[in-house]
Amino acid sequence: MIISIIQPDIVWEDKTANFRKIEELISSFRVKPDIVILPEMFTTGFSMNHEKLAEPPGKESSRWMTAVASEGSFAICGSYIVRDKGHVFNRWIFITPDGKSRQYDKRHLFRMGEEEKYFTPGKKRTVFRYEKIRICPNICYDLRFPVWSRNRNDYDLLINSANWPESRRDVWITLLKARAIENQCFVAGSNRTGIDGKDIRYSGDSMILNPRGEIIASADRNECVITAEISPDELNEFRKKFPVYLDADNFYFCLD
């Protein structure tokens, strides 16, 4: 399976401009991917202006993603601001070329950015299969909480869509490697670049890692696309030769 990460300089609170920017980056593909991964809040940047920016399920951003997936014959995913049944969510959406979708609501809201004041945390861990790959989505701050993304031998690819600041660049890289190693899985971390509307700087560093924690594709701080091929067969062979999961501790956690 071929996966591509798009690393844009997100235009602050301008959905139309961001759709256009991402379309331009998609047009630069040299190889057609099976999955295209976008950052957190790819339509707006990490804004708390939900009154202006939140949209109902299935509306503007969802329709754009559906059209792009259909035209490109690939699945596309990323998060944006959704208002659903009176609650506001930082919602990650995965849409296939035939218009089917899966979703995940960000569990760990970034209190240092006051996200918990405006958004409702998700309560459901999501794992699903697309073609031959089982996928577990995370959003940005979720990366710091290994229990939430613990592989119960039920997924092969961990996707994290993020707006991760340059000031914590080393943490981003370290945690992506840790999640790959401890879960014996591929990891795809999609981050933005540039400076947002709050003057927060982002260094990009989007990357794809193998189950050994080795970086197999990476971006610098520029707008770009990175692509890598991941093999479920190679992953299964590695897990058979080095079955760490068989010695994992059992634990349980409760959601409020």
106 in catalytic set: yes
Distance, in Å, from the CA atom of 38 to the CA atom of 96, rounded to the nearest integer, reads: 14
**Residues 205-245 pLDDT 10s:** 999 999 999 999 999 999 999 999 999 999 999 999 999 98
Within-domain flag for 89: yes
- At residue 245, the pLDDT reads 86
Q: Taking all residues of the chain, what is their mean pLDDT, rounded to a whole number? A: 96
Distance, in Å, from the CA atom of 225 to the CA atom of 148, rounded to the nearest integer, reads: 28
Please tell me whether the overall predicted TM-score, pTM, comes out greater than 0.95 for this model: yes
Catalytic residue among 21, 40, 77, 223: 40
Identity (one letter) of the amino acid at 212? R
- For residue 234, the domain's CATH number is 3.60.110.10
Catalytic residue among 77, 136, 140, 185: 140
Within-domain flag for 226: yes
198 in catalytic set: no
Task: Tell me the average pLDDT across 245-254.
Answer: 78
Within-domain flag for 255: no
Within-domain flag for 253: no
40 in catalytic set: yes
Residue of 28, 29, 24, 30 whose CA lies nearest to 11:
24
- At residue 254, the pLDDT reads 65
Say how many domains are in the chain: 1
- The number of CA neighbours under 13 Å toward the Cβ of 96 is 8
Distance, in Å, from the CA atom of 134 to the CA atom of 206, rounded to the nearest integer, reads: 21
Q: How confident is the model at residue 248 (pLDDT cuts 50, 70, 90)?
A: confident
C-alpha to C-alpha distances, 171 to 147, 166, 175, 185, 220, nearest whole angstrom: 17, 10, 6, 19, 16
Catalytic residue among 21, 55, 77, 106: 106
